[in-house]
Structure 1
Amino acid sequence: MRIDPETVERIRQAADIADVIGDYVSLKKKGANLWACCPFHGEKTPSFSISPAKGIYKCFGCGKAGDSIRFIMDIEGLGYGEALRHLAKKYGIEIQETQLTDEQQLAQNERESLFIVLNYAKNYFQHNLLETDEGKSIAYPYFKERGFSDKTIKSFELGYSLESWDAFTKEALKQGYSPDILQKAGLTIVREQNTSPAEQGNEDSRNTRTFDRFRNRVIFPIHNVSGKVIAFGARILKTDKNQPKYLNSPETEVYHKSSILYGIYQAKNEIRTKDVCYLVEGYTDVVSLHQAGIHNVVASSGTSLTLEQIRLIARFTQNITVLYDGDAAGIKASLRGMDMILEEGLNVKLVVFPEGEDPDSYVQKIGSEAFVKHIEQNASDFITFKAELSLKEAGNDPFKRAEIIKDMVESISKIPDSIKRSVFFQKTASLMNIDENLLILESNKIQLNRVKQKEKDTKREDNRQRLSNDLPPGVSVSSGAEELMSFSEEDHAFFPESVPQANPVTEDKPVRSGLSYHEEECIRLLINYGSREVDPGLAPGITLMQYILSEIEGLEFKTPIYQRILLLCREKFIQGTVPELQYFLSHIDSEIQREAIDLATEKHTISEFWHKKHEIYVPTELDKLADMAFTNILRLKKANNEMNMAEIKAKLIQTNDAIEQEVLLTQFMQAKEVEKQIAKELGTVVVK
């Protein structure tokens, strides 16, 4: 399915890079650019740069780069066409689509097909709830009893699955969705039917039975950050000991429960605005608080808090407040995940509600204003909360108190910020009536042990990998070898014969030639300033691209990506056009686009205060464009000439033919003369 170029350009113009990325991470302005913690890899210090002027982003940590379309492709895992449709929907741009042929339907990206069928299922469940007699008489009253308004039901797209074995599957098949996609989306379960003994050997007699995963349950659609339905949570309405109370979609290509939070789509903007995320346990807690006007709330959907979920919250805020039920056992179980929040550098507070209450029941009982007031008055930092909870259990038992102190030091030592650690050590020392220096000393021991353990793990993995590489194909590392590789250096001192000494392994890192750097600089100038006049005073109307291409005519670059871009520039110039920077930044070829972004992105910029405050003017590249281009061309020619001289030398060594030697010597002397001329221009010295 093809979208016409005019519509693509309209989408590009409308899709403001800051607005698009701002839906996924919190942005902070620094100079001309915006910065954030990268959504593609875990980091505590922002290295993800967005340039609104150029319409691009680049992470200086993991290297991800692109424009608004590429960002949606990477963050959502979509194809180019689907990313365009996603942005078109966001900005209300109409796309005329042609009907898919059967072949196109089969070739359609499976991931995109999953999104389509999951959205269909969401609409189907909504229809069941609001339009069918069964839904209106059974499921709708349940939501009303929970206090959910029609507006809330529609906002969270709640639904109902009929009390039927295969009502959904039959309807979906009737609408043309394939059984394979329904199964991969986790909506339909396929099982082989039992056959008679006489039929078991006959393949034609084998058949399967399909039935719905969700039956007679209220449905809570689970959305990803951009609002696409990726899974469902379903609560049973009848009391049945043989059925779980809640049933979730299985893991699929688009749904990984450890990486998503229920309500994140509805909450993300408010989390960013309020700069705090309320973390609860269940679906109904999220919906009830949202209806009460408290929108910055998400749930871990009944799973233990994961690192991926913490990093998802960190895109929008550094502050988490965990809202616990009054159940003591549940609190203890959940405390285990708090250390991960601290380790990621986030600030975490905890609030407990009266016994027998949860966020859902309590907000309906006291109202939203009193609920928020309760949070403000009872929110306690994690360390204080943990200490008070543990001390109640320990009483006056000195051994239990000692264990509690060690546990608290273990948690504090995971905080990456040294100032925060210091504050919490002071607080713990006061709470526990113990010398602060002892706590710091214990923390140092813990951190040292972690470093040693990490080194051991790394060494063990290196040994395992080395041994695996040495073994014949199909042979794996035995448990005995794994055990040997787990020995520490101290063990080897006692068992010197136990493990053979391996030769030092050095990694062969690719070394770039000087020529490659000169080619890169040439391409950087062409991409960033190709359409600029190289010297308006001396050569008005002559663009930098025209100047460079004429000076290096006939020269071929040795680095493949730079040669491809050079050929692209030559092709466009022959056609009578000089491509602007945006042409490269939005290029459909991802490799060219990524290289262009790398060459157009500056990690550091000069502060405007140098001129405004200190009256110090720092020349820009545009001010010295002619000199830069001239120098780069000379260095590029010099590097190519040196490579040519090296090749001539190699041929001289290899040949014994007198005539050929004479020709090669002549070529070498000519190249040597070129070297002297270039050196003179550059002001360098050439050894004769």
Structure 2
Amino acid sequence: MTISKLTSDKVKERADIVEVVGDYVPLKKKGQNMWACCPFHGEKTPSFSISPAKQIYKCFGCGKAGDPIQFVMDIEGIGFQEAIRHLAGKYGIEVEEDEARTPEQNLEQNERESLFIALNFAKDFFVKNLQTDEGRSIGLSYFKERGFSPQIIDKFDLGYALDGWDNLLKSAKAAGFEEDILLKAGLILQKEGDPSRLYDRFRGRVTFAIHNISGKPIGFGARILTKDKNQPKYINSPETPIYHKSDVLYGMFQAKKAIRDLDNCFLVEGYTDVISMHLSGIENVVSSSGTSLTEGQIKLIKRFTNQVTVLYDGDAAGIKASIRGIDLLLEGGLNVKAVVFPDGDDPDSYSRKVGTQAFQDYLKNHSRDFIGFKIGLYQEEFERDPIRKAEVIREIVQSIGKIPDPIIRSVYAKEASGLLQIEEEIIHAELNKSLIKSQKDHFQKAKDEVEAEEKLEELISTSAQVSFIEKLSIHEREILRLMSLYSAESLDEEGKTVLEYLLSETLETKFQTANYERIYNLFRGLISTDKKLDLKGLLNTFPGESKNEIIDLVQQRWEVSAHWTGRHGILVPTEKDDLAISSYRALLWYKKRYVEKLMAEASMNIKSSEGSNEDFEKILVLQSIYLEVKKIQVLLSKELGIVIG
């Protein structure tokens, strides 16, 4: 189905950038804008800026920029239509379709949207199978034995894959899905040795739908219920264009609100652990689905909280094998605690054994920070062996060294000193060695980057080394920035807008930077339609690439501190206070640079003519052109208050 323009317009009008971005990352107000660590690239210092007034976002680290719709497209990896549907659901806007589309037309949409449609069909198919005779006797019985209520089954889209060769394949083809999409979605397989023979990937298993952060099915985990030694206990969807295991945590869609509200995320191992904790009234829980923790999964947690509590099964050997995950969490800037269940138990079995209240009490009373947890884990070993104690101290120090915050590092070093009964100075000395060793390459890389940046700054600031085109580009950008920010603002009593004034003064010139010339021509086309649009109107009108470039133009990293006006009572005039002067000076600078470019071209023509057989009169003409342009340059410089020789 194609979403109507009316629905798109309602979403654009209603969607608030702070509310939309706030669903994914915690925001902090600084000045007029909101700031966060960018959800699109790893960083420790916030460079992701959200402007409530302009309804745009921009990351000054990776360059990502856009409006609320673009943010949803980027963060979810979906197309425009899906982003509109997502936001319409968030704001309770009824989605109107322009016209019905056949299954074949649906599959003509981009591949990602087709995969979402196919996986949602499979999810519904597995859920409905629970109502068949086979599904009730096997799948539903298993869920009831685990104590899963109908509400929980519905909440997590639990289902059952019938024990047949191609039940899903037949139903999907009957609904209009092509085999190619079903293969790419990981729902069916090709028989080895005979690719023409296709069959269901999931057969005779209960299914656990894996959702992305907005709730769309992107894959499945499936558990076998028979004791077949030739079959793995669990099988999972393969990597697909919309399912990257290293970036997904099971249960995050159901948990994200609780994680943000409670400022803590419980991390468990399996699907049933997540579901059992929900049954115990604990919703801020996710699972790595039995795989080693990855950097992408850590970044996903960090969108919602900085606090993680890792829940370990009561198996000392298994804990020691998986403890590297704690170091990864620390390195990602998260504060880590841990809980260990009694030997032989996991979150699922223990919650069913003791009941809801006792389970919640156990989590509260047995949560330890990672230092106490690690030391307790190895205590019996190092009490018997002094050499082992030295090894444990080094392991603890290495973990502390992963923490990016120096103050938190210092606090943990003091705690480790007390628990290990060793002088704090020794801990700090070992910590310094570890930090120097691990960060040597990082410092060298940073040093190289700083030197490169300093050289670039020096190059830009030295006018003799910068081409006239590059200098002109700076002022072309400034003209476009004013056009974008204040296009509909009036400059005089006659109602002439900033856009009309700047265009009328630059129509005889041509922008030298290709991207800026393209945007300039869009503004010129806007004048011909007699439309007066503010920034939001421009972003809704201009095409995607140009829209992002305009956001890059208008979003400023720095702003005047509120302390000047609030605390010190100093009035700091803003650009908008006198747009006439701002626009006039921007034009003067642009024209000055344009004239300097013309002078450089004239000078080159004179030099090339002097070395050739050009007649004397032509050289005189070129010289007179140069002198006339020079006069204009002097006048412009004088108007700008610049003294030139």
Q: Alignment partner for residue 635 of structure 2, among 677, 681, 688?
A: 677
Gaps of 5+ in 2: 448-458, 461-465
Residue 513 of structure 1 aligns to a residue in which SS?
helix
Q: Which moved more, 1:240-249 or 1:46-55?
A: 46-55
1:559 aligned to which of 513, 536, 540: 513
Partner of 1:128: 129
**Residue 490 of structure 2 corresponds to residue 533 of structure 1:** yes
Task: Map residues 622-661 of structure 1 onto 2, 5 A cutoff.
Answer: 622-655=576-609, 656=612, 657=614, 658-661=616-619
* Letter in structure 2 aligned against 1:664: L
Per the alignment, residue 513 of structure 1 pairs with 470
Which residue matches 2:622?
A: 664
The Cα of 1:94 is off from its aligned counterpart by 1.5
646-655 or 544-553: bigger deviation: 544-553
RMSD, aligned CA: 2.2
Letter in 2 for 1:94: V
- Supply the AA of the counterpart residue of 1:327: D
Partner of 2:452: none
Q: Does the CA-based 8 Å contact 2:309-2:338 persist in structure 1? A: yes
AA in 2 matched with 1:602: Q
Amino acid at match of 1:641: V
Task: Name the amino acid aligned to 1:679.
Answer: S
Aligned positions, number: 623
Q: Deviations over 1:299-350 (max 9, x none)?
A: 1100011111111000000000011111112211221111011111110000
Shift of 1:104: 4.2
* Closer/same/farther in 2, CA of residues 122 and 3 from structure 1, 3 Å limit: closer
TM-score, length of structure 2 as denominator length: 0.92
Point out the more displaced range, 307-316 or 676-685: 676-685
What letter matches 2:33 in structure 1? N
Q: Distance in 1 between matches of 2:340 and 2:248?
A: 24
Alignment deviations for residues 613-654 of structure 1 (CA, whole Å, 9 cap, x no partner)? 332211111112111111111111110000000000101111
Match of 1:437 among 397, 408, 425: 425
Q: Which amino acid is 1:136 matched to?
A: R
Contact 2:585–2:640 under 8 Å retained in 1: yes
Give runs of aligned pairs for residues 443-458 of structure 1, distance below 5 A.
443-452=431-440
Match of 2:570?
616
The two structures have a TM-score, normalised by structure 1, of 0.87
Task: Report the CA distance between 1:208 and its aligned residue.
Answer: 2.4
The residue that corresponds to 2:358 in the other structure is 370
* Stretch moving more, 263-272 or 132-141: 132-141
Deviations 1:243-262 (A, max 9, x none): 11111111111111111000
Q: Residue 491 of structure 2 aligns to a residue in which SS? A: strand
Instruction: Give the one of 375, 382, 394 matched to 1:394.
Output: 382
Report the counterpart of residue 50 of structure 2 in structure 1: 50
- Percentage of pairs with the same residue: 51
Amino acid corresponding to residue 177 of structure 2 in structure 1: Y
Matches within 5 A, 1:29-44: 29-44=29-44
Does structure 2 conserve the Cα–Cα contact (< 8 Å) formed by 1:429 and 1:436?
A: yes
Note the C-alpha offset of 1:458. Answer: 11
Question: What's 1:297 paired with?
Answer: 285
Contact 1:193-1:209 within 8 A present in 2 as well:
no
Bigger mean CA offset, 371-380 vs 637-646: 371-380
Residue 609 of structure 1: how far off its partner (Å): 4.3
Matches within 5 A, 1:166-565: 166-192=166-192, 208-452=196-440, 513-535=470-492, 539-565=493-519
Question: In structure 1, what is the Cα distance between the partners aligned to 2:35 and 2:637?
Answer: 43
Cα–Cα, structure 1 residues 436 and 156, in superposed 2: closer, same or farther, change >3 Å?
same
**What's the counterpart of residue 604 of structure 1?**
558
Change in Cα spacing, 1:378 to 1:217, as seen in structure 2 (3 Å) is: same
Distance in 1 (CA, whole Å) between partners of 2:180 and 2:116 is 14
Can you list the C-alpha shifts for 1:525-564, whole angstroms capped at 9, x where unaligned? 11111211224xxx44222122222222311111122212
1:163 pairs with 2:163: yes
**Whole-Å separation in 1 of the counterparts to 2:279 and 2:379:** 37
Separation of aligned partners in 2, 1:136 and 1:155: 18
Contact in 2 for aligned 1:569/1:579 (Cα 8 Å): no
Q: Distance in 2 between matches of 1:559 and 1:268?
A: 44
Instruction: Tell me, in whole angstroms, the C-alpha distance in 1 between the residues paired with 2:446 and 2:334.
Output: 27
Greater shift, 153-162 or 329-338, is seen at 329-338
Asked whether the 8 Å contact 1:193–1:208 carries over to 2, the reply is no
Q: Which amino acid aligns with 2:490?
A: E
The 1:613–1:351 alpha-carbon spacing in structure 2 relative to 1, beyond 3 Å, is same
Match of 1:66 in 2: 66
- Letter of the 1:287 counterpart: I
CA shift, 1:182, in A, is: 0.9
Tell me the amino acid that sits aligned with residue 191 of structure 1: K
Distance in 1, matches of 2:382 and 2:125, equals 54
Greater alpha carbon shift after TM alignment, 611-620 vs 665-674? 611-620
Cα deviations by residue, 1:365-400 (Å, 9 ceiling, x for unpaired)? 333333222222211111111112112122231111
Q: Structure 1 unaligned runs (5+)?
A: 195-206, 460-507
The more displaced of 263-272 and 11-20 is 11-20
Change (3 A) 1:250 1:611: same
Assess if the C-alpha contact under 8 Å between 2:103 and 2:177 holds in 1: no
Query: In structure 1, how many angstroms separate the alpha carbons of the residues matched to 2:442 and 2:623?
Result: 58
Q: Distance in 2 between matches of 1:267 and 1:164?
A: 34
Q: Is the contact made by 2:107 and 2:177 (CA closer than 8 Å) also made in structure 1? A: no
Which residue identity lines up with residue 112 of structure 1 in the other structure?
A: E
Counterpart residue type for residue 636 of structure 2: I
